[in-house]
Amino acid sequence: MSAISVRVPAKVNLQLAVGPLRDDGYHDLVNVFHAVSLFDEVTAAEPLDGDPSAAPLGVRVEGDLTGEVPVSDDNLAVRAARALADRAGRSYRADLLIRKSIPVAGGMAGGSADAAAALVACNELWGLGLPVEDLMEIAADIGSDVPFALLGGTAVGTGRGERLAPLETAGVFHWVFALADGGLSTPRVYGECDRLREEAGVAAPTPAVSEALLAALREGDAKSLGQALSNDLQPAALALRPSLAGTLALGREHGALGAIVSGSGPTCAFLAESAERAHELAALIKDVDGCRAVVTAHGPVPGATVAG
């Protein structure tokens, strides 16, 4: 095959419980991931013959806010492809094309999704035939959110989020995402979370999954799920980007079942009772200050999948 394309979803965090800072610089987490129908597509292709000086793993980016995505060795998709080649013990070449629809630096794991897609695409392109268990191990070394982008669906992550257990989920949930102007640095948000806790004299709790959240997922109860959404990083994201408080309030005023900052932000996620209500809510909040776009999606959806 000369090219393989893989579609990979964004995620929203239904619960993000942040525990103490560990010796390795990460926090202990309980992270309930939910894959939603906003997709990037990564195509891995055999390089054209010609320039022997060209990088063995090149990357191009098309789509939304492409100027904010690195096209160097820092790109997570490039790092993933290189890690896969290293695991196979051979040298490989590929040109990677990333078509972006997932928000950049928006708390929806767009970079991690691209890394997962690159693993799947290059595994196919190079004919390695590595099982998903091996890809999951490589993914965990690249970043905490990368394994979930391979898995998809709904799952709870522990450790720093990379140890995953699928969760029983009934039905389909409908979402509205308010995409903010500009991104937020994930390390900066975690640092602000630590600072706010220290300032308040509050010790970081041991993270635990919400039983109410698990029950709502099992029963497919959108109203209960909306009430159970939680994110320990939300106060930090609001401190760094105060305008997000107004966005969340507007969604609640217009009937969202739940409103939350997704991950480290600044994307705001709203749970709606139906697809129709999601489209109505999107229309009502699309002009809020600091919001560059509003999109609707549903979940759960599968993880990284070779495009048919």
Active site residues: 11, 145
Which helix (H) or strand (E) element contains residue 119? helix 110-125
If we measure between CA atoms, which residue out of 63, 39, 54 comes closest to residue 117?
Answer: 39
Which residues, including other chains, have CB under 8 Å from residue 256's CB and lie 6 or more apart?
Answer: 176, 226, 270, 271, 272, 281
DSSP state of 24: T
Instruction: Report the chain's terminal Cα–Cα distance, integer Å.
Output: 14
DSSP for 120-172, written as a single string: HHHHHHTT----HHHHHHHHHHH-TTHHHHHHBSEEEEETTTTEEEE----S-
Binding annotation for ATP: 103-113
